[in-house]
Amino acid sequence: MGLQIDTGAILANHAALAAKAPGAIAAAVVKADAYGLGAAHVAPALYASGVRQFFVALAREGRAIRPLLPPDAQINILSGHLEGEDLTGLTPVLNSPAQFFRDRAMRPGQPFAIQLDSGMNRLGMEASEWAAIRSEAMAARPAFIMSHLACADEPDHPANAAQLAAFRAMTDGCDVPRSLAATGGILLGPEYHFDMVRPGVGLYGGMPFAGARPVVQLSLRVIQTRAVASGEMVGYGATWHAARDSRIATVDAGYADGILRALSSSGVQLYAGDRGCPVVGRVSMDLITVDVTDLDTVPDRLDLICPAQPIDRLADLAGTIGYEILTSLGARYPRTWR
């Protein structure tokens, strides 16, 4: 069993997204342990390929990768400056006037950035709050000013243009770098790129970057196979009964490994090469049962994530998004990098 991660594909996806925003610096978002794939590996690899701007959600995540990156890597903390936080060597993205005043009192002269709310109403200063502190904040020279799009994965959504206009209205005339676009925003076009783009999911092979190279392959070991006679049941709740004499394989991962229980009875398959075998019965905590009746030989391993079943296909089957599939993949898997 194991998660195989293609570092070269992550770097190629970064380069491809950077090439779509040629005038802008291409940062890399490595929050949530690089979307579950391992920030301690991903961030240094991106640094070696030239990335200097990194984003994480929490100061704790920033402290974890700080020693792994040379000093000229800037690690930006999206949650900003929370009370009592150690931000040594990190750049908080300040989200409210309270954070701004706390940060300037505690870290005078240290780098900071500003997040404005352009309509998503999640993080960042409101236009009125920004107006009140703008001249003081600009005098302290933020590293950049950013905002975040709520609907960038829907190119025709009217919120995109509305947020763009709101961001412009709040920041035109500020002579510091500006940043609005994540993966989806990069794909919306040049007016969304400003001076820095912040791709996350696209680096890891997820939608909305349809051109991404796949990054993850997940192979599960077959522990046991058995003959199940027509009419017999398989798994918790007896939700599946064999419609014919069948061969069932049991593999060594389940929902405790991030294989969402919602995938039970969803049509999800495990792959022997390009041959799909239906998952039958419920996904249990540590095990999944698969109908391998139609295989001539049962291999040692079956793949859950592979070119035939990429993360966004799994996400559709589970009723979620690729982001949640990636970040759910547990720390239980051995990881191999290539």
Inter-residue contact 265 to 286 (CB < 8 Å): no
Q: Under rule CB under 6 A, how many of the chain's residues touch ligand PLP?
A: 12
Using CB under 6 A as the criterion, what x/- string covers residues 38-77 for binding ligand PLP?
----------------------------------------
Binding residues among 133-152 for ligand PLP as defined by CB under 6 A: 148
Shortest reach from residue 80's CB to ligand PLP, in Å: 11
> Is 25 among the residues that bind ligand PLP (CB under 6 A)?
no
Q: How far apart are CA 62 and CA 30, in angstroms?
A: 9
In the chain, the amino acid numbered 208 is P
CB within 8 Å of 124: residues ≥ 6 apart: 95, 115, 116, 117, 118, 147, 148
What's the maximum distance between 2 C-alpha atoms anywhere in the chain? 76
Is 236 part of the annotated catalytic residue set?
Answer: yes
Instruction: Taking the CA atoms of 174, 177, 182 and 187 in sequence, report the sign of the dihedral they define.
Output: positive
- Of residues 24, 37, 78, 272, which one binds ligand PLP by CB under 6 A? 78
Contact range with ligand PLP by CB under 6 A, out of 198-206, 249-257, 260-268, 281-289: 198-206
Q: Considering the rule CB under 6 A, would residue 80 count as an interface residue with ligand PLP? A: no
Q: Are strands 25-26 and 196-197 parallel, antiparallel or unpaired?
A: parallel
Residues 153-182: x/- map of binding to ligand PLP (CB under 6 A)? -----------------------------x
Binds ligand PLP by CB under 6 A, chosen from 5, 75, 125, 201: 201
The single residue among 200, 235, 276, 281 that binds ligand PLP, judged by CB under 6 A, is 200
**Residue 134 counted as an annotated binding residue:** no
**Which one of the spans 61-69, 200-208, 266-274, 310-318 is the region binding ligand PLP (CB under 6 A)?**
200-208
Q: What whole-number distance in Å separates Cα of residue 276 and Cα of residue 274?
A: 6
Please name which of 161, 213, 153 lies closest in space to residue 15, comparing C-alpha atoms. 213
Please identify, using beta-carbon distances, which residue of 183 and 269 lies nearer to ligand PLP.
183
Q: How far apart are CA 199 and CA 195, in angstroms?
A: 13
CB of 42 to ligand PLP, least distance (A): 13
Rounded to whole angstroms, how far apart are CA atoms 287 and 270? 13
Rounded distance, CA 250 to CA 239, Å?
Answer: 16
Q: Does 199 contact ligand PLP by CB under 6 A? A: yes
Comparison of 63 and 148: residue with beta carbon closer to ligand PLP = 148
Is 272 near ligand PLP (CB under 6 A)? no
Q: How far is the CB of 334 from ligand PLP (least distance, A)?
A: 25
Q: Exposed, middle or buried: residue 195 (CB in 10 Å: 0-12, 13-18, 19+)?
A: middle
Residue 29 binds to ligand PLP (criterion: CB under 6 A): yes
Q: What are the contacts of 272-281 at 24+ separation with CB within 8 A?
A: 272/298, 272/299, 272/302, 272/303, 274/308, 276/308, 276/309, 277/249, 277/302, 280/234, 280/235, 280/240, 280/248, 281/233, 281/234, 281/235, 281/236, 281/237, 281/239, 281/240
Is 31 one of the annotated active-site residues of the chain? Answer: yes
The active-site residue, picked from 20, 31, 35, 192, is 31
Is 285 known to sit in a ligand binding site?
yes
Active site members: 31, 236
Binding residue ranges = 122, 285
Instruction: Write out the residues near ligand PLP by the rule CB under 6 A.
Output: 29, 31, 78, 148, 182-184, 198-202
Specify binding-site residues for substrate: 122, 285
